[in-house]
Amino acid sequence: MAFARTEVAVVGMGCTEFGERWDRSLDDLLIDAAGQAVASVPGFDVRDVDAFWLGTHSSGLSGLALSRPLKIQHKPVTRVENMCATGSDALRNASYAVAAGAYDVVMAIGGEKLKDTGMSGLVVPSVPDDGTPVDLTAPAMFSLIAPAYMRKYDVSAEDFRAALTHIAWKNYRNGARNPRAHFRREVSKEAITRAQVVAGTLGIHDCSGVSDGAAAAIVVRAEDARRYCDRPMYVRALALAAGPADGPNDPDYDYTGFPEVRATAAAAYAQAGISEPARQIAMAEVHDCFTPTELVLMEDLGFSEPGMAWRDVLEGRYDLDGALPVNPDGGLKSFGHPIGASGLRMLFELWLQFRGEAGERQLDDPRLGLTHNLGGPPGEVVSFVSVVSPEPESVGHG
């Protein structure tokens, strides 16, 4: 297995404001994010970067989408796409490149400019096909989780609705304390519960929004980290899985979770030497594209027992002041989901938290953080998990 021990570290990061950035093109967002990341490393210049990985799902083609705006002088630039794990996969590939010794300093940058499409909701670009795949929107795909979970674990509609509402409320509340978030206002539980139905039992507040944004990370080998940064963020695990995409065809797939997430969580925990994630992980940024997604992710990531996540949510376990804060920055709920940027935006929050720079959202000395993304509809997803820490040595390892 790759990455048996810590080999790379993040030594600089940047993140733009996310939102309906009518005034910024993708070029602008990438320049802004890259500039912030470079500026966060004392005495550093973008020309010091040996190679770049650009994560963008549908806003730019080839490495030129980065080299053109940054005027990169004949350096390697790779465009990465892996649905909603795009930004994280850019980080992953950049990390392997420095770990392998191919380069010394690399940048992983993700950006998306969704508001130029003019569409309501996310539009996934399509490839030519025979016309038979069902054209389902993202909210509809994930709305299938709700009735499945309620049936399997015998949860009443009221309780389940309350848990979903709590997740949205929590994330809006966190985002209200984040100057980079798209949505910076708290929303009452009543407004969330009463929102207009979009698909199944999901209302508008159960869905993350369509946004623009970009984020970037400078990555080096762990042994070089201190040359660039006083408080590096060490990458303790990187896991990616593309499932066989046969969930919708498998009578045994019950829409109450994601096997791909369980696989990546297991791989990441093994790499990082984590045996009790619920206890050892101090904070997690997870893919809350929709509220029921975040709920079942608590179980798939091992934070809650199967069938218990809804209770843990309602008890405040995952609130900012709970035992395991989830989406302390406000999540996809408050930032929206500029696809290529989200994974790196998640990492940025952990970066701030480890450095004591998270302002009103600051947690008390977190030592292990997790980021997670998933792309695709339930039953056919790509999943990514990372574990990061301010320390290179394993923490809490037996």
Partner 1 sequence: MTTGITGFGAYLPRFRLRRAALQELLGRPARSGTRTVASHDEDALTMGVEASRIALAERSHDPTTVWFATTRPPYLDKTNATALAAALRLPDATGAYDVNGSVRSAVGALRAAAATAPSLAVLSDLRYGLPGSSELLEGGDAACAFAFGDDPLAELLAVGSVSVELLDRWRAEGAAGPSTWEERFASAPLVCGMEAATEQALGGAGLAVSDLNHVVISSSLTRAARTVARRFAPDVLAGHFHEAVGYAGAADAGLQLAGVLEGARPDEHILVLVGADGGDAMVFRTTDRVTERRSERSLQRALTDGDDRLSVASMLTWRGLLPREAARRPSPRMPSAPAAARNRAWKFGFVASRCRDCSTRHLPPQRTCRTCQSVDRMAPEPMADEGGTIATFTLDWLAASVSPPSVVAVVDFEGGGRFQCLLTDCDVDRVRIGDPVRMSFRMVDIAGNGVRNYAWKATPVNQER
Which residues contact partner 1 by CB under 8 A? 118-121, 123, 126, 128-132, 134-137, 139-140, 143-144, 147-148, 151, 197-200, 244, 246, 248-251, 255
Residue of 13, 91, 15, 102 lying closest to 55 (CA atoms): 91
- Identity of the residue, 161 or 221, whose beta carbon is nearer to partner 1 in the bound complex: 161
Angle of helix 145-153 versus helix 157-175 axis, rounded to 10: 130
Q: How far is the CB of 326 from partner 1 (least distance, A)?
A: 25
Q: Using alpha carbons only, what angle is made at residue 312 by residues 309 and 318, rounded to the nearest 5 degrees?
A: 100
Q: Are 54 and 66 in contact (CB under 8 A)?
A: yes
Where does residue 130 rank: exposed (0-12), middle (13-18), buried (19+ CB within 10 A)?
A: exposed
Minimum Å gap between C-beta 75 and partner 1 is 36
- In the bound state with partner 1, the residue whose beta carbon lies nearer, of 73 and 126, is 126
Rounded CA-CA distance 355/362 in Å is 10
Minimum gap (Å) between residue 251 Cβ and partner 1: 5
Give the residue carrying structure tokens 């101090």: 282
Query: Based on CB atoms, which residue is closest to partner 1, 42 or 251?
Result: 251
Residue 210 tokens, joined:
């369509």
CB of 200 to partner 1, least distance (A): 4
Q: Which is nearer to partner 1, 47 or 151 (CB)?
A: 151
Least distance CB 3 / partner 1 (angstroms): 27
Nearer to partner 1 among residue 232 and residue 292 (C-beta)? 292
Q: Among residues 84, 207, 229, 289, which one is catalytic?
A: 84
For partner 1, the closer of residues 130 and 158 by Cβ is: 130
- CB of residue 259 to partner 1, shortest distance in Å: 13
CB-side exposure of 214: number of CA atoms within 13 Å? 29
d(CA 165, CA 291): 8
How many angstroms from the chain centroid is the CA of residue 100? Answer: 25
Smallest gap, in angstroms, from Cβ of residue 379 to partner 1? Answer: 9
Q: Is 337 a catalytic site residue?
A: yes
Per annotation, catalytic residue among 57, 182, 287, 337: 337
Closest C-alpha to 165, from 190, 148, 136: 190
In whole angstroms, the minimum distance from the beta carbon of 127 to partner 1 comes to 9
Q: Would you please indicate which residues are annotated as catalytic (active-site) residues?
A: 84, 337
